């Protein structure tokens, strides 16, 4: 196959690289008249195997972070910033000394946990916000400060945004645990690889037996794709690449769709 069809070095592909490679190969295949090439059945087998692989891969890599959860996290962060920065502004610039003292007292409840709580990991931020809300609600002086500084509305918005996020986040964790498949991602990749190699083998065989002209564009596109990935993998393995993003680590929510 070497002189006609480039062979992908699949054994060196990370799962994310493998998934994106197969997805793109199928997209290129769909641009061709595979019926005329007598390759449709092999492509369909690959689609079936890849769908099974992709389903488990998505569950393993991306089932926690969803658009809904990301939006709720943003609302939670905004609520936190609004209260924390609001009381800091009052503490720094209020003319009334009482207002300034109350605001400083409130601000210390936040700042003792750090100045960028909103940048922390989900679990860590959630635990800290639980502590902040509990301390303010259970301390009479802090409750009074919230009221007298007219921060009750924004404190309640922050509290509700935190509760909404926490509810959905815990639900997603339970859902992920329930969805864990008995099928191994390793086994699914093996069956997908087998189907992929079979398709490529038959592209080679058909091109040899039916004539290269009909397959020239298809093979050219496949070779360009494979060579691009092989080169990228070689650079990664030799540590000569400036690319810092690992396709296996940064999951694309639209993977394969």
Out of 134, 151, 179, a domain closes at 179
For residue 219, give the nearest of 245, 247, 200 by alpha carbon.
200
Q: Is residue 243 part of a domain?
A: no
40-62 and 185-210 helices, crossing angle to 10°: 150
Q: Is residue 148 part of a domain?
A: yes
Q: Is residue 251 part of a domain?
A: no
Q: Is residue 257 part of a domain?
A: no
Contact assessment for residue 195 and residue 207, using Cβ atoms and an 8 Å cutoff: no
Number of residues in the chain: 257
Domain of 135? 67-179
Structure tokens at 250: 């940064």
Q: What is the mean pLDDT of the chain?
A: 87
CA distance 105 to 112: 11
Q: Is residue 56 part of a domain?
A: yes
Residues 159 and 80 in one domain: yes
Choice among 8-17, 27-36, 113-122 with the minimum mean pLDDT? 113-122
For residue 63, give the nearest of 254, 257, 253 by alpha carbon.
253
Residues 58 and 72 in one domain: no
Q: Which alpha helices (DSSP H) does the chain contain, by range?
A: 15-30, 34-37, 40-62, 67-93, 97-111, 122-138, 140-148, 152-179, 185-210, 216-237
Q: What is the pLDDT of residue 245?
A: 36
Residues 146 and 200 in one domain: no
How many Å is the Cα radius of gyration of the chain?
28
Q: Is residue 250 part of a domain?
A: no
Dihedral angle at the C-alpha atoms of 20, 25, 27, 33, nearest 10 degrees?
A: -170
Residues 161 and 192 in one domain: no
What pTM was estimated for this model as a whole? 0.52
CA distance 235 to 241: 5
Out of 179, 206, 224, a domain closes at 179
Residues 98 and 140 in one domain: yes
pLDDT in tens, 95-128: 999 999 999 999 999 999 888 898 887 878 989 9
Dihedral angle at the C-alpha atoms of 187, 192, 196, 202, nearest 10 degrees?
A: 90
Residues 73 and 139 in one domain: yes
Residues 174 and 221 in one domain: no
Per-residue pLDDT, averaged over 83-98, amounts to 97
Q: Is residue 201 part of a domain?
A: yes
Q: Under 8 Å CB-to-CB from 114, ≥6 apart: which residues?
A: 120, 128
pLDDT in tens, 183-240: 688 899 999 999 999 999 999 999 999 989 999 999 999 999 999 999 988 887 875 4
Residues 18 and 99 in one domain: no
77 CA to centre of own chain: 19
Out of 162, 179, 196, a domain closes at 179
Give the total number of structural domains in the chain. Answer: 2
Residues 97 and 130 in one domain: yes
Asked if residue 14 has pLDDT above 80, the reply is yes
90 CA to centre of own chain: 38
Residues 210 and 229 in one domain: yes
For residue 255, give the nearest of 70, 68, 71, 62 by alpha carbon.
62
Residues 112 and 135 in one domain: yes
131 CA to centre of own chain: 29
Q: Is residue 248 part of a domain?
A: no
Residues 175 and 114 in one domain: yes
What is the phi/psi pair of residue 170, to 5°? -65, -35
Asked if residue 256 has pLDDT above 80, the reply is no
């Amino acid at each position: 196959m070497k002189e006609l069809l480039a062979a992908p070095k699949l054994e060196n592909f990370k799962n994310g690289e493998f998934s994106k490679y197969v997805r793109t190969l199928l997209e290129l295949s769909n641009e061709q008249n595979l019926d005329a090439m007598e390759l449709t059945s092999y492509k369909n087998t690959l689609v079936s195997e890849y769908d099974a692989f992709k389903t488990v891969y998505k569950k393993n890599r991306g089932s926690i972070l969803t658009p809904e959860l990301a939006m709720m996290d943003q609302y939670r962060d905004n609520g936190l910033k609004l209260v924390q920065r609001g009381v800091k502004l009052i503490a720094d610039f209020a003319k009334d000394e009482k207002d300034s003292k109350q605001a400083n007292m409130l601000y210390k409840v936040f700042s003792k946990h750090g100045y960028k709580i909103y940048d922390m990991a989900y679990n860590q931020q959630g635990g800290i916000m639980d502590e902040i809300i509990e301390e303010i609600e259970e301390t009479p002086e802090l409750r009074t400060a919230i009221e007298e500084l007219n921060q009750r509305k924004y404190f309640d918005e922050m509290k509700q945004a935190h509760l909404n996020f926490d509810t959905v986040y815990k639900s997603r964790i339970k859902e992920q645990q329930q969805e864990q498949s008995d099928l191994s991602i390793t086994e699914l990749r093996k069956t997908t690889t087998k189907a992929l190699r079979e398709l490529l083998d038959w592209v080679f065989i058909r091109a040899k037996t039916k004539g290269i002209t009909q397959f020239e564009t298809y093979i050219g596109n496949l070779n360009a794709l494979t060579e691009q990935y092989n080169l990228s993998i070689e650079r990664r393995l030799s540590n000569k690449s400036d690319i810092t993003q690992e396709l296996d680590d940064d999951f694309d929510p639209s993977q394969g769709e």
